[in-house]
Amino acid sequence: MLLLAAASLVAFVLLLYMVSPLISPKPLALPGAHVVVTGGSSGIGKCIAIECYKQGAFITLVARNEDKLLQAKKEIEKHSINDKQVVLCISVDVSQDYSQVENVIKQAQEKLGPVDMLVNCAGMSLSGKFEDLEVSTFERLMSINYLGSVYPSRAVIATMKERRMGRVVFVSSQAGQLGLFGYTAYSSSKFALRGLAEALQMEVKPYNVYVTVAYPPDTDTPGFAKENQTKPLETRLISETTSVCKPEQVAKQIVKDAVVVTMGLFRTIALFYLGSFDSIVRRCMMQKAKLETVDKTA
Amino acid sequence: MLLLAAASLVAFVLLLYMVSPLISPKPLALPGAHVVVTGGSSGIGKCIAIECYKQGAFITLVARNEDKLLQAKKEIEKHSINDKQVVLCISVDVSQDYSQVENVIKQAQEKLGPVDMLVNCAGMSLSGKFEDLEVSTFERLMSINYLGSVYPSRAVIATMKERRMGRVVFVSSQAGQLGLFGYTAYSSSKFALRGLAEALQMEVKPYNVYVTVAYPPDTDTPGFAKENQTKPLETRLISETTSVCKPEQVAKQIVKDAVQGNFNSSIGSDGYMLSSLTCGMAPVTSIMEGLQQSPENCCSRGPRRDDSGKPNPRQDAEQPV
């Protein structure tokens, strides 16, 4: 009896495994794809750009500093796999002004075609005790890490929904999964990315656009080195419980997850709820499309 | 053998239960306590102020509109339990400028003594499709909901750490536990409150200061009515899977959890399930927190109001719990 139950469970899981390519998102084909990476001139962003370039993508690097952009471009171009590939550099502060960001995306799309994948990697980190952090830090980190991801995403999303394809990646942090000593300003900004991503995914799922949130640990980058200069002792000691990662490994994983997506009873119920929310969204989308065609023929 | 294991498990749980008052935070005594409530002139904030006042606290209401503040003050004062109690009203926009907020807290402390409990309830909600929301909305919601909670908290935290006692409450939302269609701007701001709270709790725990994050569902308040005016259809349909709560019930639960020092405050059985699913690495500050979670559904499943405030005849068939 027990053996029968075990056997049917195994058979069910095998069936799911075989069926899954039919019900999973079709992986994004990187060769020839237009990938925009904000914060692409250094750190994790640069490694993500390299990883996509190695697989044949056309890259647009977006960052503030033009010299760093050109240096990164040279480095990325070493990894080309054919002579058609292009690395485009555009200098802008993605957190300042939405219309500037919109312009940048327009420029990039004029040169390299519609954006297939947007990687929001522009960000910075500052740690310190809550009452020691400068008051402006809270607003600044939220502006760069959160608004600096909202603006580019908003600039590409309409086109992705029209083309019924696309990937939007948000680079959060492990500090965006749990709040840690010294990270009152930073964790909030990284948690915010997750809320944004979850809500956005629910909106764009029927349009075959997929959202990925990455949660890298401490990663060996220039940004991390800068953060360490002012890190409180407690934060440093806590961080030492995990090892520092190499940005190349982080980038590989992020690109893989973006390209391809218990608590048992509660999680199952939750998945049913999420499924019903998705079907509500899909139903409304189809109804709107129907109304639009009726309007057109009227 | 199995019986022995079961018996020792039961014995262990009983032991935990008896020992827990010794290792849990000492509940905050509300009689005579100074409670500051931002966004206290209406909605959940006002009900929280009433709930604390009923238990003997001295209240400072902080909001922008002076008329609404005075009206709320009159309403709260009806519930006084002795003639010493005071309701102080101070008008300020908590999201504009930190030094203004610092001044407000200073004024309040000069009149009513150091702040024992701060309730960050100032906030607003706007929903819409990601590409339809005005660009300024993202910044505005983050400013009011997040920075408007950072500033007051920062103004009280040093004194709380000195006195080795205090409570800081952040009113997030169920939309701060999962992102929903139409809430790209709102969910982000409410998720941010959670990150802030978790990090802050880790910093202040050795000082006997406890942080509470509340996750109310849709609650029948003026703010909610305003939100409904521009809510997209999909968001409305999804929201209808949970019932609308009364602000008095939400306030009762929040005050109870804050006084106890529970990190997580959820409302009703839906809230309990959602909190369990999304607890992540959130701290548990007392064993009582886990044992005390009451899965009873304290939100009535009565008639659901539509925007005009009239009961919806379609829903009248449902039985209130």
> Checking phi first, is residue B246 left (phi over 0); if not, alpha (psi -120 to 50) or beta?
beta
Residue B198 contacts A where some CB pair is shorter than 8 Å? yes
Residue written as tokens 């008051």? A135
> Checking phi first, is residue B108 left (phi over 0); if not, alpha (psi -120 to 50) or beta?
alpha
A12, amino acid identity: F
Can you tell me the mean pLDDT for A20-44? 87
DSSP B203: H
State the nearest Cα–Cα gap between A17 and chain B, in angstroms.
25
Chain B residue nearest residue A262, CA to CA: B277
Q: Which of the following is catalytic: A146, A151, A183, A186? A: A186
**8 Å CB contact of A154 and B142:** no
Residue written as tokens 């300024």? B136
3-state secondary structure of B210: strand
Query: For residue A54, is pLDDT > 80?
Result: yes
Residue A129 contacts B where some CB pair is shorter than 8 Å? yes
DSSP A263: T
Confidence (pLDDT) at B13: 77
Confidence (pLDDT) at B290: 53
Average pLDDT of chain A? Answer: 89
**The whole model's pTM is what?**
0.86
Q: Where are the domains of chain A?
A: 28-262, 266-297
Which residues in chain B (130-189) have CB-CB distances under 8 A to chain A?
130-131, 135, 138-139, 142-143, 146-147, 150-151, 153-154, 157-158, 161, 175-176, 178-184, 186-189
Q: Which residues of B touch A125 (CB under 8 A)?
A: none
Given a contact cutoff of 8 angstroms between Cβ atoms, the answer to whether B31 and B56 are in contact is yes
SS3 labels along B120-152: ECCCCCCCCCCCCCCHHHHHHHHHHHHHHHHHH
- pLDDT tens figures, A55-75: 999 999 999 999 999 999 999
Q: Which of the following is catalytic: B172, B187, B239, B286? A: B172
At B80, list the tokens: 């006084």
3-state secondary structure of B229: coil
Given a contact cutoff of 8 angstroms between Cβ atoms, the answer to whether B249 and B299 are in contact is yes
**8 Å CB contact of A280 and B237:** yes
Residue written as tokens 């760093």? A68
- In the predicted model, residues of chain B with pLDDT beneath 50 are 293-321
Confidence (pLDDT) at A192: 96
State the nearest Cα–Cα gap between A64 and chain B, in angstroms.
21
CATH 2.60.40.3140 for the A28-262 domain, yes or no: no
* Residue of A271, A62, A27 whose CA lies nearest to A167: A27
Residue A40 contacts B where some CB pair is shorter than 8 Å? no
If one compares B16 and A120, the residue with the highest pLDDT of the two is: A120
CB atoms within 10 A of CB B316: 11
Confidence (pLDDT) at A267: 62
State the nearest Cα–Cα gap between B192 and chain A, in angstroms.
4
Q: Which residues of B touch A157 (CB under 8 A)?
A: 130-131
DSSP B100: H
Confidence (pLDDT) at A170: 96
pLDDT band at A157 (very low <50, low <70, confident <90, very high): very high
